Structure 1
């Protein structure tokens, strides 16, 4: 359960991010007073990048589950997929990835997948091979722990809406440096990608 202090800090961060969504490369800094009179300063730079995705093939394990089960599902299944791929001699064509087809806070449900990018034609039981099409996308890169991931997703969603773009599922998280590479969360580097149509 989140503490009151964590909840307030999270809401403040979300407010800062959403307020920064109107301009590229915006740096937002604000001093915030929280419970007990403590003062914290938070700053965040959002650099939205327009990219052109190439079609990509993935080995995936996809599941519908509750939002609270998503982090555990992703951690366990990414580790399992990585281990099975290594044992099966499957060479990754990129970093471990998560795909999000549905994210419904109102119902508390998600449709998510762990995904390993591979060459076309690669098979590994029990995983399904899929190919995501090429097309335009908007991306943000986040350095450090995953505690700000939701805020980055909200920022991308808001920026798409501001630009008049329609999101195309799935949204993508690429773990350029993640738990499979390091135990130090400060070294994590995650690219969040929202494919879209105009």
Structure 2
């Protein structure tokens, strides 16, 4: 990548992180404006909002991806899946743009969106396969299914009463996914 293109990419990522950090206008147009680039430049680097968001939060995604092996080496497959999903749920609850991007990418039809989403899906697939091998997950369950089931939990409101609801709903999700472990 040319140095000017790399510089633009870094400016876009920095601007997006700044824009996502505060409530308000988080449109791609405002991110391009803040980065000092045109919308065409933004779209050349990040063809979709989901792609940009997942790159902004790449460190979190990378940590989730790297956590799979240590979790499976130290915990049973259903417990590893539970801990990993709790981490993913926590990230999505703290960063709504990330949750929105994962939710959109889960149903995405575009190649670019699927590519940005793939490392997360691959990590989750590893956990799901480990549970299939152990006979601890509902037959036929896929990583995509798990994400579709998890996404609504990001929409549970915030507050003391809602945290209890989120935990209760997460338990219901895990009981449905891994009934043999209950």
Normalising by structure 2, report the TM-score.
0.27
Q: Kindly indicate which of the two structures has a greater share of residues assigned to helix.
A: 2
Report which structure shows greater RCO (CA 8 Å, sep ≥6): 1
Q: Kindly indicate which of the two structures has a greater share of residues assigned to strand.
A: 1
